Structure 1
């Protein structure tokens, strides 16, 4: 509301507005802001970080937002597929002027590890998962999947990190981390919320990152980019922008237990074949994602900042 009032009082036609669309019902409040921008003749760019309007689309709220903004409104999506699908639902298929792609790798991408060869630490095969732990992120499925892998004779470990506010899920995590009756240490380790050095240790301690998410908002998970940048391979469910960011289609989970057993076993076999080569391939993949994001940024920022001097040669915005 403060932004809307500021635009009513001081907005000028030469201004540019860059905004992130709120989630769920908050879009309806955003419609008012877009209407004011249109009335003031202000060109505005709306950055979408959720796949909800596509997964549940077409939605009335998003249709209203697009109608309110008119020709002065443009949309930023996180991948080419996300852009095409959004345009098909809300922009009559037009993408050239109305929608552009810009990966999270440009604005929020992690630093990339060096790709110097290094030996694999002496440890059991270790799967990992990190997120804000919820059922929608696939944590119950992951625990069930890991138990099934153990039943198939794999003496592997699973490390899970991230905050958990769900009491039922917290209890399931606690149960999974109990040591065996024979005194053997638990195969599942829960580290809670991690950051800084603890986060780096998490990635250093795992061989394969597993993300079986079913979150309706899931778009381009930053944790995937972080894993690749650390040389850690990823298997993930085929939702949001994940297909656009995964290394190969052979890394996409189906959320069918038997198929995902085979998928993870195959990817672990790849690691056993040449752990260093896989690590280097993941880092190269992260570099390629970053390079593509730089190209996208070079297309976007001059359009956004044209009235204010454009962008520096590095691609960084000029303030």
Structure 2
């Protein structure tokens, strides 16, 4: 029997909105669980907050939730009063689960992963996955759960992206590879900063090199999303930053890119340099997925202009 002695550790949640449940709209269940599992085996240290040198249960939950823009305090006892209570039968991935390991109330917190599993930093094994119904330890010490954030179900997004023909459209990963090659970047360093691009990934060297130049950055959860399509607006920004393009002449009007659009400047710079003329209907196709053909054409035009 593996017995775990957990010292009292505290982590309290402060919602972005102050009360109620925070809507983590940009974060999916899969992003949460994959991020949490990435640190399995991280060493335990009472009072620790460093995932590399040692972290306690509250430091761990705080670290994981911070990657999704959610701020947690340092006391699990106070955290147990935040959000909304959730019955054991209604647990969802992302809920915080609490245990009495000290004999004096809430003293341990973890993140529910689904299928009765939760992940937390323990004194016996560091960050690891356990069962909330474990009859030898956790089951008898379970206190309750709180929902402090809503994580979206990514099923619809996955179905949508599964229907995309990546032999026609450019994924973010493929765009990174082709752009790094066009720029002649050294892609030998595969120590990528992105949680979803491992060193052995074919995208690692390119994403690392482009990130160091601040051409490509990740999302709020630290992911690069190499398998997601890149829009024409996103591509405009990447190309402008990659080649240091500047505005030339008068702005061009595109029906779908008003002056207050976040990509307005990037699209205008591309157009002013003759890299794009837009679509026949007067739009740029700002939200359209960029094709591999257009990616290559844009890069070739820029290179010709710079010669």
Q: TM-score range by the shorter chain?
A: under 0.3
- The higher radius of gyration belongs to 2
Query: TM-score, with normalisation over the residues of structure 2?
Result: 0.24
- The structure whose residues are more often helix, as a share, is 1
